[in-house]
Structure 1
Amino acid sequence: MEKVMLSMLLSALLGFVLLLVGLFLGVSMVSGREKSSPFECGFDPIGSSRVPFSLRFFLLAVIFVVFDVEIVLLFPVVMVMGGYWMWIGGYLVLSFFLVLLFGGVIHEWREGSLEWES
């Protein structure tokens, strides 16, 4: 029990020391017009830094994140599939999850979010 308390205390102390070191090293001593400018590539900014972008790119990024998380959630299930310890409820949950994801793809396809010609 004493070793556990000592390791917890050392972990908290190490975290606090790293926090203080990060705060100390993160303070910027040099600040000027170039550093506070939105562009740091060597020339003065001409237009606004707030350039509008297509929402299609944002939607594609959201779809990518959703299906990336889906892969992360499916990977442990695929690893267990070969084993004998996956029960019928696990197969039902997996089937429901896959049907839900497939329904999302169909919805995005019908909505036209996956079309890039327009």
Structure 2
Amino acid sequence: MEKVMLSALLAVLLGLILLLVGLFLGMSFYIGREKVSPFECGFDPIGSSRVPFSLRFFLLAVIFVVFDVEIVLLFPVVMMVGSSYMLVGSYLALLIFLMLLFGGVIHEWREGSLEWEM
């Protein structure tokens, strides 16, 4: 039990140290007008640098991330299918998970988020 507590404490401390190092390295020490203006080869910027982009592109990117994460969640289960370690409850949980994912795809399809034409 002590090893588990020690490894958990070490993981938390390592995470905090990495967080603080990232925050320190990411700090901007000097923010001025020239720092925040876009650089266009020495010329004065033309127009706004904050050009709006299509919300459909953002939605498509979010859908990709969601379904990419579900592939990562499914990979260990696929490797276990057919082994003696897979119990009936595991098959039921896999079936429910796949039904939820299929329901999400159907919802996105009906909503029109999977249309590729802009």
TM-score when normalising by structure 2:
0.70
Partner of 1:89: 89
Partner of 2:39: 40
Describe the shift of the 1:26–1:115 C-alpha distance in structure 2 as closer, same or farther (beyond 3 A).
closer
| Higher gyration radius (CA) | 1
Q: Map 1:53-72 onto structure 2 (within 5 A).
A: 53-72=53-72
Describe the shift of the 1:29–1:57 C-alpha distance in structure 2 as closer, same or farther (beyond 3 A).
closer
Partner of 2:116: 116
Distance across 2 between alignment mates of 1:85 and 1:99: 22
**RMSD value over aligned CA atoms?**
3.3
- Tell me which stretches of 4 or more aligned residues in structure 1 moved more than 6 Å: none
The structure showing larger relative contact order (alpha-carbon pairs under 8 Å, at least 6 residues apart) is 2
Partner of 1:103: 103
Q: Map 1:6-17 onto structure 2 (within 5 A).
A: none
Distance across 2 between alignment mates of 1:102 and 1:67: 11
- Displacement after TM superposition at 1:63 (Å): 0.5
User: Unpaired segments of 5 or more residues in structure 1?
Assistant: none
Distance across 1 between alignment mates of 2:108 and 2:97: 17
Verify the 8 A CA contact 2:80 2:86 in the aligned structure 1: yes
User: Aligned partner of 1:47: which letter?
Assistant: G
- Displacement after TM superposition at 1:31 (Å): 6.2
User: Aligned partner of 2:117: which letter?
Assistant: E
User: Unpaired segments of 5 or more residues in structure 2?
Assistant: none
Distance across 1 between alignment mates of 2:31 and 2:108: 47
Distance across 2 between alignment mates of 1:45 and 1:114: 36
Count of residue pairs brought into register by the alignment = 110
1:29-71 superposed Cα distances (whole Å, 9 cap, x missing partner) = 776643231x134232211122121111011011101101101
Verify the 8 A CA contact 2:56 2:113 in the aligned structure 1: yes
- SS of the residue aligned with 2:50? coil
